[in-house]
Structure 1
Amino acid sequence: MKLAYFVSKEDISLMKYEALCELAFSLDVKDMPLRRDYSSYINIMAAKEFITCISCYLENHQRNDLSQSPYLALMINESTDRVLEKHLIVYASYLNKDGLGVSKCEFLKLILVADGYAQTKYNAIMNMFSEMSLDIKHLVGISTYGDSSMLGCHEGLVSKLSRDVPNLIDVHCVAHREALAIVDACKCFPCLSYVDKIANKVYSWINASNVRHLDFQKLLQEMNLQVLEVLQIHDVRWLARGNMMVRLVKLLPPILTFWKCQAPMWYEKLCIFKVLFCIFKVLFYVADVLLELDGLNKIFQKESIDITSFSTSIEVCLNSLKKKFLGDIFAKNTIYLKLFIENAQMGYLKHVNDNGEEYTHTLLYVSMPSKDKNGFPLDIQDGSLNTCIEMAKGFVLKVIDCVNARFPDMYFFNASKLFSPMYYLSEEDERVRKTIIWLSRFLTRIGNHVINANGCEKELKAFVDTLYYGCEETFPNLLKLWQILLVLPISSVPCERGFSKQNIIKNDRRQHLKVDTLDMLMRISMLGPSCDLVNWERIYDIWEKSKDHHVADL
């Protein structure tokens, strides 16, 4: 027999809150084996009440931690879910109350918004601060994905918040910026759009027919190649282009062989040397370039990014591109492009399987047959190797320029090295000079009303020596600057993970979940600790005080 409500505190101790969530809403986002049937204790209403109490318990803990942190920062993103509801997801970065030097990044709130206007978002954020009894003056930074409603210079969300919090540090998500830099570079080479067209044609042609798909899989087996699926380019996914190009590299021999028999018109276009070079420049070459940039993007997507090493990661990536493509030896130490150039010296591509069977394809040294919307050719140069190499070098230079243009605030991230002794120079005078420059950049960006600039300058020499030599001192002003740096977010990637979690919970069979319930389930899923660490007595008290309850008879 089901009970309407929990009978006693002893029943509470029997309940595992993960199991309760699974029973009530089929919440499949955690490993939640059911060791016994709890359905005899509850019905759906009791489960929802209990979920509300768990969420309230977790929210109270988080609110207490946030109130004790001297500074906090927000990561904000918006999305439309599967039932076309607009949501604003908010994450908070703050200092752990257990000690200095430890910051936390946690899901804070899922908010239903009526539209995408900046004023609507601003009102939602201010209401959230009011409901959680948080001081807006503690807000020091905000990271967004960078659209005009967020970063508009006059009426964007950041501009509106800056009126309440002067010198608020706004950061356009570095992962978004890095992806946009690649898009900017590609726009300067219109012929590359033809390569995207070919790549997507491969995907659509093979996958549009079940027969062709099966025949292609058989061909892969005959050529003793790993059976893989062709991927499609997704413009909204950061790593989609790089992953697709690398996959196309591996599948190029069977694709050429397949099209040679079944799609001779497309086969002829794919055999053009310049197309292949761009598929070995956007495929073999950009498989090399994109492998570098995808590696950089993966660094930006980590759970926590060391802000002191952020600028170094970009510098290392760009220097690697320069060495590989702009040095004396073109394609030096590349994985794919060098191999392609070597194989193409004889004017054809050849693949030999394990049985000794050869698959040969003759290359055509002509320009790309690509045209713009007005019918004018996008590629007017010849298809020789030297022309392709010069185009490749120009593309790398453009990528580097676009990355630098997308990160005009690199000076600020470089200045964060002040708090990482690994970047200190060994010569004392140079070390002092460098750290003074870093400090001045920080103070210029953050402002004197937050940090005592004179106090920081007085403490700087002793502070740097403390970090460098391992001495012990007290530096109240510089420690405040350090705290700001610790909570400052440089990406909104956690928000993307939050929306992924949202889509797992609010699936096709539960698409009528209200935003309040969805918010609670996301909080439990992402913030819920181990059952052994939960204060079940406190959760029971929250439930008991929520309203009058009537215990059903057994």
Structure 2
Amino acid sequence: MFKLKAPTSSSVPGKKKLPPPTDETVAKRRKYEQQDKERVYQKCWEVGREWLVYISEKKVMKCQICSQYWDLEKRKSLRPEAIQWLEGTDILKKDSVVKHEKTKYHETAVLSGEKSVQEIHTSKAAEALKQLREADRTQMSYKFRNAHAVAKWDLSLKSYARLCELDQAKGLKMNNTYQNDMSAKHFIEYLAKDTLSFIRREVDKANYLSITVDGSSDAAGIEQESIYVHFARAGKVYQRFICFASPVTTASCDIYDTIVESLDSYLPGARDKLVGLTCDGASNMLGVHKGVGALLLKEKPGLVITHCLAHRLELAIKDVFKTNKTYDKAMTLLVGVFYWYKRSSKQQKELARTFKALNPKSVPLMPTRAGGTRWVSHMMKAINTFLRAYVPITTHLGHASNSNSKAEGLHKLATSMTIMVFLVVLKNILEPVSRMSKLLQDPTTTLGDVKHMKQSTLQSLSDLEVCQSDEEDVVRTIMESQTYKGVKLTQKGISPNSYQNALANSVSEEISARLSNDDDLLEASQIVNFKIWPSHDDRKAIQGFGRNHITELSKRFPAIDEEAVKVEFQLLKNLLYSRYGAQIKELHWEDAASVLNGHGVDQALDMVDLILSLPPTSVFNERSFSHMKLMKTDRRCRLKSSTMSDLCLVKLESAPVASFDPTSAIDLWATSSSRPRRPNFMRKKTKASTTVDEVSTDVDVPLDGARSIDTDSLSDDESDDDEDDDDVDDDENFENNENNIAKYCKELSESDVME
């Protein structure tokens, strides 16, 4: 039998074979390709293409719909030519636009956008939502509440199934679907999306936006960048957590790319409103030439780059005491006493009995940790606790020193006059510094409050340098009686007044030096601090107040029209003084903006929102790392970064468990699927009929008897149901402290022999 050949392209009916190009055509094409012609973006390409956006500064065009739909996780599956349209392509050809328009990933993004834009009663997915019975919606609300509680309370994802089981035990009608840990992860993802949509609506209403960024490693050793947005609207300041993002490396270029991708993915259009960046003082963040701040300045000239003021205050204290040997001995004493009682329940009970023996009505106090955190207030708390419990601690250490060499060494340090005088002086000096540190960590603190805080702290330190009377000078009393709270001290100290004056003066100089970089901006920002406004009866001061501040701010921010704002600010002052009078120093801008709305001072209020949008610190990022370490522990180190980010977003930004309403999250979950959701559907398990002979017993076991691990199966599941969120002690610091105790005790013994 004869076999027919497959038809070629030339033999297909209706398709004519094209003639080969002529020499003239080939030469014309080569000449066109050799021309170095600069392509220009044509506005006519945007007709019928609302998604097409041209960025004139970079001379690139991008697809807005694809940038919003394809987030960081989804982009991993795209080709490089597709990613170019998400970040911006410099191929300015209409043919490139048409090709992108026909790609599958663009069509997917368009369909998703149309589905989200459709109203709830017209979309196809909404029809499925309407079909949810009231009973099904009630059951889903129970499950969404359980998933929300898991995220809020730092529970394991597997705790979700136990909460559902508990609801069933209470008599609540719940079906058996969506009750495993993967369902919890799925629901938390939609809770995070619903929370993020609320944040996005808030950001869209703001005119200015700043970001705070800080980095830390999680339990798995993966670098995580915490990103917050800081903005103000109508005089009210908002701080919102956005995400945890993992850069490829800790190099500045990679961190910059991560920040830009995160903002474009989670908050499209937010970079256009960016006015400030606050971060720590690491070189990859604040490097003059290649730091993240420098890279952002190239994109946004005039951006305010702020080194976190709370971090700078801590660095000032470290600079004062980094070469002070007495400070090292005092910290060795505090850390040693803390570990002495923390690591032994027996010692804790004996100390409690000592408290009761000395004073039956007293409440036992346990020493707190002096190190391990960067904030001065924690060191202040450790010193206060030690001085309050000084008599019971030294009494107990004295009894324990008969049989324990470490207790003997700690007792020698605790009864040293030099160390005790230093601790009392250090407590006096750290009190105003700790107060300023706490104020800087307050969420209501603005950049305009910093200058006033700095001046009051320096004044308090200056007051310590004034010589006090003998009755009020505790240090002089210690020196003269050679006792502290009735406990005999050994080894003479140095002159107390000169000692305190020298330390207070050094701390003042370091704080002034560390916080003097942004003096002009801090001075100009004081215009929003009602506490420094002139008194209501000083009309001359009121008339001139704010003019110099506005002039300085207009130099930093071109958006401020100096003359127009000065006129409106004058009207603003008259309105506020006439309404509040002497109470103006207690006023808040949120209340003032509501009163001034519609009085023709919109530009002045816009300037106030701009200043309030500049964050003075990045302490919120530090707090997010504390939450991260509670979520991703050594026993939950396989949590993906995206899941951990969703957990933290729900925990930090969603409503409390008692007042949480899951309705919008359930609507989002029900409308996000192209097919109707089936809350009651469960696949039937197929029964496999097997016999004993059919069961295979071949198991691959390593030679050492350890169970082999399938690395492909690693997911968000925890390796153990139980969790241990207790802080892990730093054994290396503990061993160093042990060596320091022995060294300093040897020095004290030698000094006693010399005396």
Q: If the length of structure 2 is used for normalisation, what is the TM-score? A: 0.61
Structure 2 CA distance for aligned equivalents of residues 23 and 103 of structure 1:
29
Instruction: Tell me which residue corresponds to 2:443.
Output: 303
Structure 1 CA distance for aligned equivalents of residues 386 and 502 of structure 2:
23
Residues 1:480 and 2:609 aligned together: no
Structure 2 CA distance for aligned equivalents of residues 278 and 24 of structure 1:
45
Aligned counterpart in structure 2 of residue 279 of structure 1, from 423, 426, 439: 423
Higher-Rg member (1/2): 2
Q: Structure 1 residue 483: deviation in Å?
A: 1.5
Whether the aligned pair in 1 keeps the contact of 2:278 and 2:618 (CA below 8 Å) is yes
1:18-29 to 2 correspondences below 5 Å: 18-22=145-149, 27-28=154-155
Moved more, 533-542 or 505-514: 533-542
- SS, match of residue 128 in structure 1: helix
Residue type at the aligned position of 1:466: L
1:470-509 to 2 correspondences below 5 Å: 470=579, 473-509=599-635
In the comparison of the two structures, how many residue pairs are matched?
507
- SS, match of residue 89 in structure 1: strand
- SS, match of residue 12 in structure 1: helix
Whether the aligned pair in 2 keeps the contact of 1:81 and 1:87 (CA below 8 Å) is yes
Q: Structure 1 residue 167: deviation in Å?
A: 1.1
Whether the aligned pair in 2 keeps the contact of 1:271 and 1:362 (CA below 8 Å) is yes
Moved more, 35-44 or 76-85: 35-44
Instruction: Tell me which residue corresponds to 1:416.
Output: 525
Instruction: Tell me which residue corresponds to 2:392.
Output: 254
Whether the aligned pair in 1 keeps the contact of 2:209 and 2:270 (CA below 8 Å) is no
- SS, match of residue 390 in structure 1: helix
Deviations 1:352-401 (CA, angstroms, capped at 9, x unpaired): xxxxxxxx414421xxxxxxxxxxxxxxxxx24xx232011110111111
Structure 2 CA distance for aligned equivalents of residues 515 and 401 of structure 1:
43
Deviations 1:307-365 (CA, angstroms, capped at 9, x unpaired): 43332233223322322x112427997xxxx44543553233454xxxxxxxx414421
Structure 2 CA distance for aligned equivalents of residues 546 and 113 of structure 1:
36
Whether the aligned pair in 2 keeps the contact of 1:174 and 1:491 (CA below 8 Å) is yes
TM-aligned CA distance change 1:273 to 1:548, over 3 Å: closer
Whether the aligned pair in 1 keeps the contact of 2:465 and 2:500 (CA below 8 Å) is no
Structure 2 CA distance for aligned equivalents of residues 521 and 331 of structure 1:
58
RMSD of the alignment, in Å? 3.2
Residues 1:315 and 2:455 aligned together: yes
Q: Structure 1 residue 221: deviation in Å?
A: 2.7
Q: Structure 1 residue 498: deviation in Å?
A: 1.6
Deviations 1:202-235 (CA, angstroms, capped at 9, x unpaired): 3344555555444333323322253222233215
Q: Structure 1 residue 290: deviation in Å?
A: 2.0
Aligned counterpart in structure 2 of residue 194 of structure 1, from 329, 333, 336: 329
Whether the aligned pair in 1 keeps the contact of 2:394 and 2:411 (CA below 8 Å) is yes
Residues 1:392 and 2:532 aligned together: no
Instruction: Tell me which residue corresponds to 2:466.
Output: 327
Structure 1 CA distance for aligned equivalents of residues 245 and 543 of structure 2:
47
Structure 2 CA distance for aligned equivalents of residues 265 and 62 of structure 1:
56
Residues 1:143 and 2:297 aligned together: no
Aligned counterpart in structure 1 of residue 652 of structure 2, from 514, 526, 530: 526
TM-aligned CA distance change 1:350 to 1:173, over 3 Å: closer
Whether the aligned pair in 1 keeps the contact of 2:433 and 2:457 (CA below 8 Å) is yes
Runs of 4+ in 1 over 6 A off after TM superposition: 23-26, 32-35, 330-333, 546-551
Instruction: Tell me which residue corresponds to 1:290.
Output: 430
Instruction: Tell me which residue corresponds to 2:184.
Output: 47
TM-aligned CA distance change 1:218 to 1:90, over 3 Å: same
Instruction: Tell me which residue corresponds to 1:12.
Output: 137
Structure 1 CA distance for aligned equivalents of residues 608 and 577 of structure 2:
16
Residues 1:62 and 2:189 aligned together: no
Structure 2 CA distance for aligned equivalents of residues 488 and 332 of structure 1:
47
Residues 1:453 and 2:562 aligned together: yes
Instruction: Tell me which residue corresponds to 1:361.
Output: 488
Structure 2 CA distance for aligned equivalents of residues 542 and 331 of structure 1:
76
Deviations 1:33-90 (CA, angstroms, capped at 9, x unpaired): 8783357241334433332222222222322322232111111111111111111111
Residues 1:163 and 2:163 aligned together: no
Residue type at the aligned position of 2:194: Y
Residue type at the aligned position of 1:72: L
Structure 1 CA distance for aligned equivalents of residues 654 and 305 of structure 2:
30
Q: Structure 1 residue 259: deviation in Å?
A: 3.8
Structure 2 CA distance for aligned equivalents of residues 528 and 266 of structure 1:
48
Residues 1:552 and 2:681 aligned together: yes
Residues 1:543 and 2:678 aligned together: no
Q: Which has the higher contact order (CA 8 A, sep 6+)?
A: 1
Deviations 1:220-279 (CA, angstroms, capped at 9, x unpaired): 332225322223321533132111111111222233333444155554444332221002
- SS, match of residue 289 in structure 1: helix
- SS, match of residue 84 in structure 1: coil
Q: Which runs of 5+ in 1 are unaligned?
A: 352-359, 366-382
Structure 2 CA distance for aligned equivalents of residues 546 and 420 of structure 1:
55
TM-aligned CA distance change 1:403 to 1:9, over 3 Å: farther
Instruction: Tell me which residue corresponds to 1:375.
Output: none
Residues 1:226 and 2:335 aligned together: no
Residue type at the aligned position of 2:228: Y
Structure 2 CA distance for aligned equivalents of residues 256 and 181 of structure 1:
32
Structure 2 CA distance for aligned equivalents of residues 362 and 389 of structure 1:
19
Q: Which runs of 5+ in 2 are unaligned?
A: 1-127, 169-173, 402-406, 580-594, 684-755
Moved more, 60-69 or 464-473: 464-473
Structure 2 CA distance for aligned equivalents of residues 330 and 156 of structure 1:
52
Structure 2 CA distance for aligned equivalents of residues 24 and 303 of structure 1:
23
Whether the aligned pair in 2 keeps the contact of 1:421 and 1:468 (CA below 8 Å) is no
Q: Structure 1 residue 192: deviation in Å?
A: 2.0
Aligned counterpart in structure 2 of residue 91 of structure 1, from 205, 228, 253: 228
Q: Structure 1 residue 144: deviation in Å?
A: 1.0
Structure 2 CA distance for aligned equivalents of residues 498 and 414 of structure 1:
30
Aligned counterpart in structure 2 of residue 511 of structure 1, from 634, 637, 644: 637
Residue type at the aligned position of 1:36: D
Instruction: Tell me which residue corresponds to 2:112.
Output: none
Whether the aligned pair in 2 keeps the contact of 1:136 and 1:164 (CA below 8 Å) is no
Moved more, 180-189 or 78-87: 180-189
Residue type at the aligned position of 1:242: M
Q: Structure 1 residue 133: deviation in Å?
A: 1.6
Residue type at the aligned position of 2:437: N
Whether the aligned pair in 2 keeps the contact of 1:91 and 1:105 (CA below 8 Å) is yes
Instruction: Tell me which residue corresponds to 2:245.
Output: 111
Whether the aligned pair in 1 keeps the contact of 2:335 and 2:371 (CA below 8 Å) is no
Residue type at the aligned position of 2:254: T
Instruction: Tell me which residue corresponds to 1:122.
Output: 256
Whether the aligned pair in 2 keeps the contact of 1:74 and 1:92 (CA below 8 Å) is yes
Whether the aligned pair in 2 keeps the contact of 1:421 and 1:467 (CA below 8 Å) is no
Q: Structure 1 residue 505: deviation in Å?
A: 2.4
Aligned counterpart in structure 1 of residue 351 of structure 2, from 186, 193, 216: 216
Whether the aligned pair in 2 keeps the contact of 1:9 and 1:540 (CA below 8 Å) is no
